């Protein structure tokens, strides 16, 4: 009872603020609503007893990425790009993408029972007190079963980081000379 109450609360907040995030004109307001969406998603993670994901969501997305977003928004002039035409064209593309995504989700929900594992509706779940510690389970599967994907992802990120550093460095040199 309490669980579903919490779920509907967080889900409602997430959906509502996501809608507000897309429709607001002021970019900072959009960012604030994106933060609310992310926090509500984190709340859903916590409601599902995925406390590690909950904390990672808060630290990475809300504490890290959103701070950078707002930083960039503050440094860039906000009123110029809104009037440019190519951003208006994006509406149709976005609408198409959203339509395809919505159809996809609807299809999965409809076909859920036929998917392996009985679909999305979990009938019996373990009691939250008996679940093994979340972070340790995650670490174990990341560093044993999914070691290769993990390493690939980290190498990719490293390459991106090195690339960013190299790009920043090159520009500085040409500026100096």
> Shortest gap between Cβ of 100 and another protein (angstroms)?
33
Residues with Cβ within 8 Å of 66's Cβ and at least 6 positions away in sequence, in order, are: 31, 34, 35, 38
Residues with Cβ within 8 Å of 27's Cβ and at least 6 positions away in sequence, in order, are: 73, 78
Does position 1 interact with another protein (CB under 8 A)? The reply is: yes
Query: Measured from the CB atom, is 11 or 135 closer to another protein?
Result: 135
The Cα 58–Cα 12 span in angstroms is 19
Q: Which of residues 84-143 bind another protein (CB under 8 A)?
A: 133-135
Does position 20 interact with another protein (CB under 8 A)? The reply is: no
- Exposure of 65 by Cβ count < 10 A (0-12 exposed, 13-18 middle, 19+ buried)? middle
Contacts by residues 5-8 (CB-CB < 8 Å, ≥ 24 positions apart): 6/43, 6/47, 7/44, 7/47
Q: Which of 8, 71, 87, 143 binds another protein (CB under 8 A)?
A: 71
Q: What are phi and psi of 152, to 5 degrees?
A: -60, -45
> Shortest gap between Cβ of 135 and another protein (angstroms)?
6
Q: Which of 74, 89, 99, 101 binds another protein (CB under 8 A)?
A: 74
**Segment near another protein (CB under 8 A); pick from 29-37, 80-88, 104-112, 154-162:** 29-37
Question: Which residues of this chain interact with another protein, rule CB under 8 A?
Answer: 1-2, 5, 26, 28-29, 32, 35, 51-52, 54-56, 58-59, 62-64, 66-68, 70-71, 74-75, 133-135, 176
């Amino acid at each position: 009872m309490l669980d579903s109450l919490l779920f509907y609360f967080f889900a409602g907040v997430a959906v509502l603020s996501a809608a507000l995030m897309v429709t607001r004109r002021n970019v900072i307001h959009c960012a604030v609503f994106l933060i609310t969406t992310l926090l509500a998603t984190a709340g859903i993670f916590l409601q599902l007893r995925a406390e590690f994901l909950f904390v990672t969501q808060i630290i990475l997305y809300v504490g890290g990425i959103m701070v950078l977003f707002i930083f960039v928004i503050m440094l860039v002039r906000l009123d110029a790009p809104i009037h440019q035409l190519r951003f208006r064209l994006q509406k149709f593309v976005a609408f198409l993408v959203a339509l395809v995504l919505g159809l996809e989700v609807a299809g999965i929900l409809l076909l859920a029972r036929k998917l392996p594992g009985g679909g999305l509706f979990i009938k019996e779940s373990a009691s939250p007190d008996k679940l093994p510690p979340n972070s340790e389970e995650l670490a174990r599967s990341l560093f044993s079963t999914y070691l290769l994907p993990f390493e690939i992802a980290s190498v990719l990120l490293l390459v991106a980081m090195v690339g960013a550093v190299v790009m920043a460095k090159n520009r500085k040199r040409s500026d100096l000379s």
